[in-house]
Amino acid sequence: MNIRPNAILEVDALERRFDVSAPWLNRMIERKPRRTLRAVDGVDFVIQRGQTLALVGESGCGKSTIAKLVTGLHPPSGGKIRFHGDRDRLQMIFQDPFASLNPRWRVGRIIAEPLRTLRPDTPEDTVSARVDELLRTVGLAPADGLKFPHEFSGGQRQRISIARALAGEPEFLVCDEPTSALDVSVQAQVLNLMKRLQKEMELTYLFISHDLSVVRHMADVIAVMYLGRIVEIQPTMDLFANPLHPYTRLLLDTIPDLDAPKRDRSPMGGEVPSPVSPPSGCSFHPRCPLVFDRCKQERPERRAEVHDRRVACFAAEAGA
Amino acid sequence: MSDIVLDVQGLRVEFPTRKGILTAVDDISLQIRRGEILGMVGESGAGKSMTGMAILGLLEPPGRISGGSIHLSGDRIDTLDDRAMQAIRGRRIGAIFQDPLTSLNPLFRVGDQLVETIRLHTDLDKSQARTRAKDLMREVGIPAVEERIDNYPHQFSGGMRQRIVIALALCAEPELIVADEPTTALDVSIQAQITALLKRLCRERGTAVMLVTHDMGVIAETADRVAVMYAGRLAEVGAVEDVVRRPKHPYTTGLMGSIPSLRKDVEELQMIPGSMPRLNAIPPGCAFNPRCDHAGPRCRRDVPRITEGDATGAACWLEQTGTVEEGAIA
């Protein structure tokens, strides 16, 4: 099952630690130890060409750190990222369309930048023709290239971000919460655009989101993260039909369901612990309804059950 | 006495600017009863927060109420001066805002902030107020109250901080709580805990709650009735199950269709073309008409309204009169 000829990205035992120690002087005076935060702690997954893998989890689970590791914005502290493609054809779309576009540049220049950087010998008239084409692809008009980012709404700005990402003819896009800052009706426009582009250009997405309903709509495979680890990875429909990890069940249980209004529920207590001092063993054990002794001491590994379907949970392994 | 806690009739909020007067809230009428949660939903700029702020008397100048009335349990409050309004805020109307870190003073222990608020609004002495603060903290689900009461806000997690803010809002047992995006800054599992808490408190104490949020899921889960706002106006008001399952206004229909479902599979999400007009460019007639598939001559001429405070229905000519033609008479 290890032969995956069509894999575009393989991530293996990926780790990223951040030093969050107090300053040297404080450590000396107050005798505080060095502290490290394991933002990403032994993560592995594979993305097939043309597919969408979603990383989902609550804030601080490490999903955005993975985006930065994959795009090379952070070097990993351990593990391997193997990208079977052209590094130049890997692009990123960020969450905040207000912060990720240079306010002093005209939109046309913003979109042309990857072209000018990656293919510097492109003639100027080809560049501008390409910018016009990209603006049309994302549903804007060529005349919009002369405007500045502040003249656009949030949804339009995210379209500009997408056009910029497409300029370098990418095969792989890392999308970090691309619609979280948008209103739902605008989100629908952007998600539809992303799906259409994926089909037309055979793009592969690493899609990061905290919103399970968005992820369900977009992803082929979903990896659920908790405190720097992937606790479960399954094809989308299987994950929703048969969640294996208790944390996945908690998440699915707590998202509001529009098809069942006024539902009364007794939400599970507890909160995500600090990643600086994660609980021993399985880091979910203090909140887990299925916890037993072994969970407190030993860290469960994600056992390969079937192709693309793994869960890191002793209780799930035992068939609970 | 009737059980209508909040009665808003024909409320208008305006912002005079150099380029003319912008109407942020345009003729809104609604009512909330004892123990009822009314959800105010809409996209950014729809005027939902502005409505909440007008009720709290916290409009930032030059914003002002330019029409209509607001009654709290029969007392008119929109004409009160700042000082009188200050006495009502906290005592009769509690407020919960999005970011719990900015609602709490970082320099004071949470217990002291609770005690101060309780003593401001009641006759309790210091030790009685402290006992009451502990009771409130327990009621909103904070564990180990005896230790936590002397912690500072930064020592609490986001969810716990929002619980403290809710406890603060409850100090004087207000008749009405205005909660503006109370769960937006929180993760889903914490969000569920907070909405469950709001629901329980509302039910047990009979407090009326105005829940302002952009999140239809939170509304569906929490509210009894929903008011959908669009471009400063009410688009639709109704029982939550009706608005969610059988929306009447084309905007609500589009809004519901654009949310990815947890059960149904669709290749493409429904889209509402275009975006909400800016306040300085609201089209004549129905504000939604340029984006509406059903729009006719009437929609481009006359503004459809939901007039009655307790009415349910949609501000849509097609829905109200069955036709969008020019000569139609309502």
Per-residue pLDDT averaged across A230-240, rounded? 93
- Whether A114 is covered by a domain: the verdict is yes
**Alpha-carbon span B119 to B88, nearest angstrom:** 15
Residue B167's pLDDT is 92
Residues of B within 8 A of A251 (CB-CB) are 188-189
Portions of chain B given CATH number 3.40.50.300: 4-92+174-321
State phi, psi for B55 to the nearest 5 degrees: -65, -35
Tell me the ipTM for this assembly.
0.81
- Whether A186 is covered by a domain: the verdict is no
**Alpha-carbon span A260 to B217, nearest angstrom:** 10
- Determine whether the interchain pair B189/A254 forms a contact, defined as Cβ–Cβ distance below 8 Å: yes
Instruction: Count other C-beta atoms under 10 Å from residue A24's C-beta.
Output: 9
How close are the terminal C-alpha atoms of chain A, in Å? 26
**Alpha-carbon span B174 to A291, nearest angstrom:** 41
The SS3 of residue A7 is: strand
Residues of B within 8 A of A262 (CB-CB) are 220-221, 224, 240-241
Contact A283, A245 (CB under 8 A): no
**Alpha-carbon span A51 to A219, nearest angstrom:** 8
Find the DSSP H helices in chain A.
24-30, 63-71, 107-118, 124-137, 154-167, 184-201, 212-218, 236-241, 246-254, 293-297, 314-317
- Determine whether the interchain pair A257/B217 forms a contact, defined as Cβ–Cβ distance below 8 Å: yes
Per-residue pLDDT of chain B (330 residues; tens, 9 = 90+): 579 999 999 999 999 988 889 999 999 999 999 999 999 999 888 999 999 999 999 998 899 999 999 999 999 999 999 899 998 998 999 999 887 777 899 999 999 999 999 998 888 999 999 999 999 999 888 888 998 999 999 888 888 888 899 999 988 889 999 999 998 888 888 888 888 888 998 999 999 999 999 989 899 999 999 999 999 999 999 999 999 989 999 999 999 989 888 888 888 888 888 888 888 889 999 999 999 999 989 999 999 988 665 567 899 998 888 877 875 454
User: For residue B314, what is the DSSP state?
Assistant: E
Residue A215's pLDDT is 94
Give the B window 117-176 contacts with A, CB below 8 Å: 157, 159-160
Instruction: Please indicate if any CB of chain B lies within 8 Å of the CB of A277.
Output: no
pLDDT tens-digit map of A168-183: 889 999 999 998 888 8
Per-residue pLDDT averaged across A199-225, rounded? 94
**Alpha-carbon span B299 to B282, nearest angstrom:** 13
**Alpha-carbon span A80 to A13, nearest angstrom:** 7
Our CA-based measurement puts residue B292 at a distance from the nearest CA of chain A, in whole angstroms, of 13
- Whether A129 is covered by a domain: the verdict is yes
Bond preceding residue A97 cis, omega within 30 of 0: no
- Whether A118 is covered by a domain: the verdict is yes
Does residue A1 carry a pLDDT above 50?
A: no
Any idea which residue has 């912690």 for tokens? B151
pLDDT tens-digit map of A125-141: 999 999 999 999 998 99
CB-CB: which of A184, A266, A271 is closest to B216?
A184
CB-CB: which of B192, B256, B271 is closest to A267?
B192
Does residue A304 carry a pLDDT above 80?
A: no
- Whether A260 is covered by a domain: the verdict is no
Chain-wide mean pLDDT for chain A?
A: 88
At position B148, the amino acid (one-letter code) is R
Q: Which residues contact A319 (CB under 8 A, 6 or more apart)?
A: none
Residue A22's pLDDT is 82
- Whether A142 is covered by a domain: the verdict is yes
User: What are the tokens at B289?
Assistant: 């008409």
Q: How far is CA B289 from CA A149, B299, B313, in A?
A: 27, 6, 18
Does residue A185 carry a pLDDT above 90?
A: no
CB-CB: which of B255, B262, B272 is closest to A257?
B262
Residues of A within 8 A of B271 (CB-CB) are 185, 188-189, 192
**Alpha-carbon span A124 to A116, nearest angstrom:** 9
Residue A3's pLDDT is 47
Residue B308's pLDDT is 63
- Whether A219 is covered by a domain: the verdict is no
Give the B window 201-220 contacts with A, CB below 8 Å: 214-218, 220
Our CA-based measurement puts residue A107 at a distance from the nearest CA of chain B, in whole angstroms, of 20
Residues of A within 8 A of B193 (CB-CB) are 267, 269
Highest mean pLDDT among A106-110, A168-172, A286-290: A106-110
Range of the domain at A117: 100-164
Residue A303's pLDDT is 64
**Alpha-carbon span B298 to B289, nearest angstrom:** 10
Domain B4-92+174-321 has CATH 3.40.50.300: yes
Per-residue pLDDT averaged across A250-267, rounded? 78
**Alpha-carbon span B147 to B138, nearest angstrom:** 12
Instruction: Please indicate if any CB of chain B lies within 8 Å of the CB of A263.
Output: yes
Does residue A268 carry a pLDDT above 80?
A: no
Any idea which residue has 């349990």 for tokens? B73
Residue B330's pLDDT is 45
Instruction: Please indicate if any CB of chain A lies within 8 Å of the CB of B299.
Output: no
Q: Which is more confident, A47 or A258?
A: A47
Does residue A275 carry a pLDDT above 70?
A: yes
- Determine whether the interchain pair B214/A184 forms a contact, defined as Cβ–Cβ distance below 8 Å: yes
Q: How many domains does the structure of chain A reveal?
A: 1
